[in-house]
């Protein structure tokens, strides 16, 4: 199997907004707004190769064969909690998408992902499934989410995040080589507590003001 691709979305607007998000004094409100704005731009890249078909339409001037999306509706899968911050921007661009939810948190000692919730549409096998989480650190959470989705039949999966650590990218490529990754930046490293450095801190806490 070929190794999954990693796409860094280096659009100037994404990079500018990401810098503001990283700053420690950026407010909770701004952090959420910027994440939503960036998610729209990440969605644009992650759906760039969606398949099209054509249909016959009437413009005010004539009939034409016009492009339209083919296939079944996409499924977005935010990893709770912080993945919710990417969802609304994605739905702004693809309003008809289905949404699955997976609840995972990292055990602070072991950094293993603990699952507490899963709810997905039944027919995942013939849909494009896009997993959302702002942070790919150890990739334990992303790998567990992808594993669970595969158990439920998903075969065409992509992972969209804001920041990735090189360690997390390596792990996803090893554990799920079929899953392309889209992110705004790959940072330097993980620290001893499993946080991305320089990073932006704890994404969930910064989104919801819980610390
Ligand atoms: C954060 C983040 C990811 C996970 C990434 O969630 O939103 O889900 O950590 O780390 P990993 O790649 O090492 O697994 P967290 O566990 O803090 O839960 P929360 O979203 O509920 O705050
Ligand atoms: N989860 C976060 O929210 N931030 C990190 O840096 C790593 C994991």
Nearest to 154 by CA among 102, 95, 117: 102
The band of 211, judged by pLDDT with boundaries at 50, 70 and 90, is: confident
Candidates 78, 204, 206, 207: which one to mutate for ligand 1, based on the most atoms within 8 Å of Cβ?
204
Q: The CATH number of 2-48+74-208 is which of 3.30.1490.190, 3.30.930.10, 3.30.390.10, 3.40.50.2020?
A: 3.40.50.2020
Tell me the Cα Rg of the chain. 18
Whole-model pTM: value is: 0.96
Coil, strand or helix: which one is 168? helix
Task: Indicate whether 2 pLDDT > 60.
Answer: no
Give the count of beta carbons closer than 10 Å to the beta carbon of residue 38: 25
Task: Indicate whether 157 pLDDT > 50.
Answer: yes
Q: Do 157 and 178 contact (CB within 8 A), yes or no?
A: yes
| pLDDT on residue 1 | 45
Q: Tell me the pLDDT of the chain averaged across its residues.
A: 96
Q: Is the CB of 146 under 6 A from ligand 1?
A: no
Q: Do 103 and 92 contact (CB within 8 A), yes or no?
A: no
Q: What is the arithmetic mean of pLDDT over 115-136?
A: 96
Note the Cα 45 to chain centre separation in Å.
11
Q: Where are the alpha helices (DSSP H) in the chain?
A: 12-22, 28-46, 84-93, 140-151, 166-175, 203-208
Phi and psi torsions of 182, nearest 5°: -120, 130
Q: Is the CB of 162 under 6 A from ligand 2?
A: no
- What are 4-40's pLDDT values in tens digits? 799 999 999 999 999 999 999 999 999 999 999 999 9
Q: Do 195 and 186 contact (CB within 8 A), yes or no?
A: no
- What are 61-71's pLDDT values in tens digits? 999 999 999 98
| pLDDT on residue 71 | 85
| pLDDT on residue 3 | 57
Q: Which residues are 105's β-sheet partners? A: 114
Task: Indicate whether 165 pLDDT > 90.
Answer: yes
Q: Is the CB of 163 under 6 A from ligand 2?
A: no
Sequence ranges of the domains in the chain: 2-48+74-208
Candidates 203, 207, 208: which one to mutate for ligand 2, based on the most atoms within 8 Å of Cβ?
203
């Amino acid at each position: 199997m070929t190794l999954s691709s990693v796409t860094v979305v280096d659009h100037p607007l994404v990079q500018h907004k990401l810098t503001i998000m990283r700053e420690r004094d950026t407010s909770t409100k701004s952090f959420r707004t910027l994440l939503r704005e960036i998610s729209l731009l990440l969605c644009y890249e992650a759906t760039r190769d969606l398949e099209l078909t054509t249909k016959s339409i009437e413009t005010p001037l004539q009939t034409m064969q016009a492009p339209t999306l083919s296939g079944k509706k996409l499924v977005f899968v935010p990893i709770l909690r912080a993945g919710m911050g990417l969802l609304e921007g994605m739905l702004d661009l693809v309003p008809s998408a289905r949404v699955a939810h997976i609840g995972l948190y990292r055990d602070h000692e072991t950094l293993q992902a603990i699952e507490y919730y899963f709810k997905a549409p039944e027919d995942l096998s013939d849909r494009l499934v896009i997993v959302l989480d702002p942070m790919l650190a150890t990739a334990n959470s992303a790998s567990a989410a992808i594993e669970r989705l595969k158990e439920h039949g998903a075969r065409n999966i992509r992972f969209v995040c804001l920041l990735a650590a090189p360690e997390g990218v390596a792990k996803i490529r090893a554990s799920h080589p079929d899953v392309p990754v889209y992110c705004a930046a790959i940072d330097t490293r993980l620290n001893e507590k499993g946080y991305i450095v320089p990073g932006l801190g704890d994404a969930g806490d910064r989104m919801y003001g819980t610390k």
